[in-house]
Copies of this chain bind each other. A is one copy, B any other.
Amino acid sequence: MQENIEYAPIGIINTPFKSLVKIPIQASIAKDAVGFITVFDEFVSGLKDLAGFSHIILLYHFHLSNDYSLSVTPSHDNANRGIFATRSPKRPNKIGLTVVELIGIKRSILSVRSVDIIDGTPLLDIKPYIESIDSIKTSGQGWLNEQVANTKRPSHLDRSRKKTRSSSVTKRD
């Protein structure tokens, strides 16, 4: 039952962030970051009809992450958290997920905004972000609520990407 599953990159994500050190934890920076996704030629026809979506979901491989850890200490936190309660790359299957704004598509190149992804990251999948199924009002955000309380920012007023990422789980730990 635990057979391995093989995937292969469908493209490459290029961003201003050339090393892990320089990825902004504060999304006040990342929100304006523009990245370019090159989809490999053989998959380009699959981009048809995508341009009409304002936001897309990127799934990618955390290629710089090596061993996994079931317990991590997220940035801006001082406690160990279970890996599945974070967005850390140190996961058993190193799949990253970011919702980005789609600026435009020219043949095989997508330009996107709000990429907090390291340059050269292998792209696994693109999905349309569908507000009606992907945008959900939650009633609990676990340990993040403690964090927000600690930083004296009311979580209910804190919905923009800009304000929030700085106090929430980051893609690094």
Contact = CB atoms under 8 A, between A and B. Distances in A.
A106 interface: no
Interface centre among A51, A126, A133 (most CB of B within 10 A): A133
Interface in A128-162: 128-145, 155, 158-161
B92 A71 contact: no
A46 B141 contact: no
A12 B1 contact: yes
A3 interface: yes
Contact of A132 (B2, B59, B129, B164): B164
B125 A53 contact: no
A99 B134 contact: yes
A141 B130 contact: yes
Given A2-B8, A8-B93, A97-B127, A50 B134 contact: no
Given A2-B40, A128-B169, A132-B160, 17 more contacts: A3-B8, A4-B8, A7-B7, A45-B82, A46-B84, A46-B92, A47-B82, A49-B86, A49-B142, A49-B143, A50-B82, A50-B84, A52-B143, A87-B130, A128-B144, A131-B136, A135-B138
